[in-house]
């Protein structure tokens, strides 16, 4: 019930393409779903987050799509760039900053120039 399942494990995309990473959760008490971006040797940094009262959130080239009934959410990176090459983690929590975050296993994205 505490798991967050993330796929794919790795992803290679051509420059300008769309990168899509998917996550699924089981615990319906989760109500905050952030995505983190991690570059080698650095800690994860918040990229974008969504709450279940909306089905989509867009910030620049990054979009989260949320399907509450299916308990799934996904990250779309439009016009992917080589600088987007990093590891991406989805996470889920009961509230923002008030409870432990459960992280997915990560997706290593490589964008080819």
Partner 1 sequence: GAGVSQSPSNKVTEKGKDVELRCDPISGHTALYWYRQRLGQGLEFLIYFQGNSAPDKSGLPSDRFSAERTGESVSTLTIQRTQQEDSAVYLCASSRPAGELFFGEGSRLTVL
Contacts to partner 1 by CB under 8 A: 6, 34, 36, 41-46, 49, 89, 91, 95-106
Q: Of 26 and 79, which has the nearer Cβ to partner 1? A: 26
- Give 72: exposed, middle or buried? Use CB within 10 Å, 0-12, 13-18, 19+: middle
- Smallest distance, partner 1 to C-beta of residue 96, A: 5
CB of 10 or CB of 14, closer to partner 1: 10
Considering only CA atoms, give the Rg of the chain: 13
Which of 89, 79, 75 minimizes the C-alpha distance to 111?
Answer: 79
Minimum distance from residue 16 beta carbon to partner 1 (Å): 28
């Amino acid at each position: 019930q505490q798991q967050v399942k993330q796929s794919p494990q790795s992803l290679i995309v051509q420059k300008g393409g769309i990168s899509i990473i998917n996550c699924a959760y089981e615990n319906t008490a989760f109500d905050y779903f952030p995505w983190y971006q991690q570059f080698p040797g650095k800690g994860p940094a918040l990229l974008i987050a969504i709450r279940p009262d909306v089905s989509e959130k867009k910030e620049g080239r990054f979009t989260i799509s949320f399907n509450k009934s299916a308990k799934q959410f996904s990250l779309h990176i439009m016009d992917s760039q080589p600088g987007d090459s990093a590891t991406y983690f989805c996470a889920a929590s009961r509230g923002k900053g008030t409870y432990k975050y459960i992280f997915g296993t990560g997706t290593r994205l490589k964008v080819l120039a």
